[in-house]
Amino acid sequence: MSFSILGTGKAVPEYVLTNDELSTMVETSDEWISTRTGIKKRHICKEETITELCVQAAEEAMSNAGVTAKELDLIICATLRGEYITPSQACVVQKELGATCPAFDINAACSGFIYALDVAAGFFARGRVKKVLVIALDNLSNIVDWKDRNTCVLFGDGGGAAVLGEGDSLLSIEITAKGDTDVLKCPHGENTSPFYKHPSEHPYLYMNGPEVYKFAVVSMVKGIKRAIKNAGLKEEDIDWVIPHQANIRIIETAVSKLKIPSERFIRTIAEYGNTSGGSCAIALADSVSQGKFKKGDNIVFCAFGSGLTTGSCVIRWDKD
Ligand code: ACO
């Protein structure tokens, strides 16, 4: 027993920040951003809070699943920075939805959605739950240094949600971590303790892009291959790939190294940029609402991100 995906939803902020507008803020251009990353625009929070976005995505997923808040047995929120240090984002969402089940967050950055699915699968396997709400959503605009062109052009806000029920859709799943604070990190802000001896680091997202790029390409190809093998399938059995949307060049490199036709790779990066943990969940929700999947389709997910973490899985779509 693993799970079946009963319904999906997504939420992104209304405000759209284009490459041209970004070019008025830092020394960059639509040409550089488009050709080096594939990003054309991203959605950025102005009015919306992360809680409002999480609730919007969750309500859409629950409505599509035909599941009410009272029926939920667990809420897992994958985010690297919720509204508060405590309570968890999942607890805040639980209150807003009027649910009564246990709720907690996990932080696996861009791999968060797949980490959350794996954790949920464990609860299903132990017979502890019948309905689980997974939300994967980040608002990195909060932690990006808007004066640093190396990072601020890459990210967008938003994410998605999925309601899971009992079923056998999960054919394989694997998560990995390779602890690293050199190539990708975001320190906390100032430590207010008068006793603490260490200097504060700048509370902005720091990324060594080329190093993360190398890790990403290797992880993407390896993750997809292993997920397929562990599911007992071959590359030609795969109908769709939902890769983490960090850079279109990472996706195209994976396409060139795998025997899966290019048109089976979902690409949403032009519209949303890199939404961290939200990325695979948005791509899933958009694909479902566009009617891309049919019953029996094998879908591979693969993500990588800060940690350094990776996650990959194969899900067999079991809805008409
Ligand atoms: N506009 C114009 N020029 C720029 C910009 C910009 N926005 N950003 C960097 N440049 C310049 C650099 O300064 C450099 O100039 P120089 O040669 O004069 O020094 C040049 O462009 C090339 O810079 P690189 O960093 O080598 O560019 P690269 O082709 O590697 O692309 C990028 C950078 C897009 C960040 C790429 O490395 C990448 O996508 N890395 C992976 C990111 C990723 O996958 N992150 C996922 C995890 S995020 C998370 O977990 C929260």
140 Cα nearest atom in ligand 1: 51
Give the Å distance between the CA of 33 and the centre of ligand 1. Answer: 9
Work out the pLDDT band at 192, boundaries 50, 70, 90.
Answer: confident
Is a pLDDT exceeding 80 seen at residue 1? no
- Collapse the DSSP code of 90 into the 3-class scheme (helix H, G, I; strand E, B; otherwise coil) and give the result: helix
For residues 66-80, give the mean pLDDT: 98
Q: Whose CA is nearest to atom 43 of ligand 1?
A: 246
Q: What is the pLDDT of residue 191?
A: 86
Give the Å distance between the CA of 210 and the centre of ligand 1. Answer: 7
Is a pLDDT exceeding 90 seen at residue 302? yes
Is a pLDDT exceeding 90 seen at residue 162? yes
What share of the chain has pLDDT > 90, as a percent? Answer: 95
DSSP 227-256: HHHHTT--GGG--EEEE--S-HHHHHHHHH
Is a pLDDT exceeding 90 seen at residue 70? yes
Radius of gyration of the chain (CA): 19
- Collapse the DSSP code of 12 into the 3-class scheme (helix H, G, I; strand E, B; otherwise coil) and give the result: coil
Catalytic residues: 110, 244, 274
Contact in structure between 4 and 165 (CB atoms under 8 Å): yes
Q: What is the pLDDT of residue 189?
A: 83
For residues 206-214, give the mean pLDDT: 94
Q: What is the pLDDT of residue 319?
A: 87
For residues 107-125, give the mean pLDDT: 98
| Ligand 1 pocket, residues with Cβ under 6 angstroms | 28, 32-33, 36-37, 109-110, 149-150, 153, 184, 209-210, 212-213, 216, 246-247, 274, 276, 305-306
For residues 244-259, give the mean pLDDT: 97
Q: Whose CA is nearest to atom 44 of ligand 1?
A: 246
In SS3 terms, 144-209 reads as CCCCCHHHHCCECEEEEEEEEECCCCEEEEEEEECCCCCCEECCCCCCCCCCCCCCCCCCCCEECH
216 Cα nearest atom in ligand 1: 44
Give the Å distance between the CA of 250 and the centre of ligand 1. Answer: 12
For residues 222-231, give the mean pLDDT: 98
For residues 187-211, give the mean pLDDT: 90
Segment 130-155, tens digit of pLDDT:
999 999 999 999 999 999 999 999 99
Q: How far is 124 from 126, CA to CA, in rounded Å?
A: 5
Work out the pLDDT band at 202, boundaries 50, 70, 90.
Answer: confident
Among 143, 148, 298, 293, CA closest to 234: 298
Q: What is the pLDDT of residue 62?
A: 98
Is a pLDDT exceeding 80 seen at residue 309? yes
The residue whose CB lies within 8 Å of the most ligand 1 atoms, and thus the one to mutate among 80, 150, 214, 280, is: 150
pTM over 0.75: yes
Least confident of 23-32, 152-161, 178-187, 194-203: 194-203
Residue 290 exposed, middle or buried by CB count within 10 Å (0-12, 13-18, 19+): exposed
Is a pLDDT exceeding 90 seen at residue 211? yes
Give the Å distance between the CA of 224 and the centre of ligand 1. Answer: 24
29 Cα nearest atom in ligand 1: 1
Give the Å distance between the CA of 30 and the centre of ligand 1. Answer: 14
Q: Whose CA is nearest to atom 10 of ligand 1?
A: 150
